[in-house]
Amino acid sequence: MVQSNLRIDGNRLWHSLMEMAKIGATPKGGCARLALTDLDREGRDLFVRWCREAGCSISIDRMGNIFARRPGRNNDLPPVVTGSHLDTQPTGGKFDGVYGVLAGLEVIRSLNDMKIETEAPLEVAVWTNEEGSRFAPAMVASGVFAGLFTEEYGLSRADLDGKTIGEELKRIGYAGDQPVGGRPFRAFFEAHIEQGPILEAERKAIGVVQGIQGIRWFEVTVTGSESHAGTTPMNRRRDAMLGAARIVDAVNRIALDHPPGVGTVGLLQVSPNSRNTIPGSVFFSVDLRHPSDEGLGKMKAALEAACGEICSALGLSHDCSEIWHSPALHYDPDCIAAVRRAAEECGYAHLDIVSGAGHDAGHICRVAPTAMIFVPCADGISHNEVESATPEDLAAGCNVLLRAMLDRAM
């Protein structure tokens, strides 16, 4: 039975978030702490130090995933786990990912303050390279943990400079010796800012997350012919940039034609990238998302058709490769119920919601009972330096996390 007066220390949670935000702080108030950079190492070091001060033991697996463990009365039981990630986008905010990590730490600190012992052990996890900004695909380390990717594949992922995850883990000192995966979880909860506008618009403090919409990532290369910008007539050009631009427009149209799907081209590289040379090659990413697998499949087919039709009409060649597919996911009913009960016990207005963004919980739900807790963020803005959430909402989500974890661990 969970005590009625349980509350975390919201001021301490806020202070921890602001201390972590100093690592990689940007001029506009956000964070640039890309995966496995020196700044990521500093953030990891701070988290590990705080966890050890809270009495936790630390283990690190070969993908660099960190597990901070608070023992229970029966340490033979699988742990109840929470966590998220510490890496950010290049112009990211203070809360995406890091809130879920430090909310887990605050749960442990608060249980220590209240001298509450759980039957099962508790753990806080930090998953490597959730963002996918430096190394694609996103959430690769939790994906290896859940068996979606091999360890060899995960460690071999390279950034644009050719540096691999395996090399960078060794460089920053976080190449652990524990196996990746095979660790049973009694339950997994991830607290996160919504990264969308719904909770704020509906004036709800808590989002009870039902699952995650499906995601498909593509890498597209359009190839034409480099030529002089001043001497090549318009009707004799094989302009790869023109083909890419039309496909980018098609991505937008495809999303609008398949509501409530969304489509994004977020990365684009032009070669030779010279102002007076017609581009001979353009490489870009395509991100398609939809709450239903059927809808997402139709968007994929429309993208592939558009690439073929556009490039054929312009005399271009192309390659459209799907590099990642995460089907629409549904979380564990019992864990969802624990989150809903916790929100009701705390007296927080709450709303059932589906995540539009991918999260590590989307991989972990394949191997453990899982649920997520959302809290509002200002104007629904995330992946942006101005990302903002109130101390009160963050504390509310952490209070719900505390009760949900106790529900599974007592």
DSSP string covering 328-391: -EE--HHHHHHHHHHHHHHT--EEEEEESS--HHHHHTTTS-EEEEEE--GGG--SSTT----H
Note the pLDDT of residue 326: 82
Q: What is the C-alpha to C-alpha distance for residues 211 and 330, in angstroms, rounded to an integer? A: 4
Alpha carbon separation from 79 to 86, 164, 200, 387, 409 (Å, rounded): 21, 31, 33, 32, 8
Dig out the tokens for 33 from the structure: 């702490």
Note the pLDDT of residue 100: 98
User: Which of 31, 11, 9, 10 minimizes the C-alpha distance to 22?
Assistant: 31
Amino acid occupying residue 324: W
Domain with CATH 3.30.70.360 in the chain: 214-326
Between helix 38-53 and helix 10-21 the angle, nearest 10°, is 150
Note the pLDDT of residue 254: 98
User: Could you tell me which residues are beta bridge partners of residue 193?
Assistant: 375
Question: What top-level class would CATH report for the domain 214-326?
Answer: alpha beta
In this structure, whether the domain defined by 10-213+328-409 belongs to CATH 3.40.630.10 is answered with: yes
Q: What is the C-alpha to C-alpha distance for residues 386 and 378, in angstroms, rounded to an integer? A: 9
Block mean pLDDT (10 aa), the chain, length 410: 80 98 97 98 98 98 98 98 98 97 98 98 98 95 97 98 98 98 97 96 97 94 98 98 98 97 97 98 97 95 98 98 91 98 98 91 96 97 96 98 97
Note the pLDDT of residue 179: 98
The reported pTM is 0.82
Note the pLDDT of residue 355: 93
Domain with CATH 3.40.630.10 in the chain: 10-213+328-409
User: Which of 134, 142, 166 minimizes the C-alpha distance to 152?
Assistant: 166
User: Which of 183, 8, 13, 2 minimizes the C-alpha distance to 81?
Assistant: 183
Q: Count Cβ atoms below 10 Å from residue 330 Cβ, excluding itself.
A: 13
Amino acid occupying residue 117: E
